Amino acid sequence: MRDLATERALELEKTYNELLDVAARLDRLRRMEGGTVEAHATAATHAVRFAATILSPTIPGTAQPGFADDTERLLQLAASWREAALELGEFAPPRPGLTLVTDTAPTQRAPLDDQDRPR
């Protein structure tokens, strides 16, 4: 029977490797025709990469993932995937155009009698 620290280290390493696998799958899925990327899958890719980067120092003997991992870059990635997930900023869906509706026919109004006038 393994001790708790060994069990925890093995589970962290397993989780880290699973995160790397998921990040690779999402990276493939986010790419679309014409060199574009799908916003939600891209946001999820960044989120999983972020999680793997945060977890990597806890795995002894494991190299850092091949993602940019400086603090500023991670914060920018977190902001980007949040905006994509919530459809904010550049990821916001286009708003429907407004159409001005005018009535060109003249309106016939009956004259107000005394009881219809505001008091």
Per-residue pLDDT 10s for the chain (119 aa) are 679 988 988 999 999 999 999 999 999 999 888 888 888 888 888 888 888 888 888 888 887 777 765 667 777 877 877 787 788 787 778 888 877 777 777 666 666 666 656 66
pTM: 0.58
Tell how far CA 77 is from the center of its chain: 10
| CA–CA dist 100, 71 (Å, integer) | 48
> Using CA atoms, how far apart are residues 67 and 60, in angstroms rounded to an integer?
18
End-to-end, the C-alpha distance of the chain in Å comes to 89
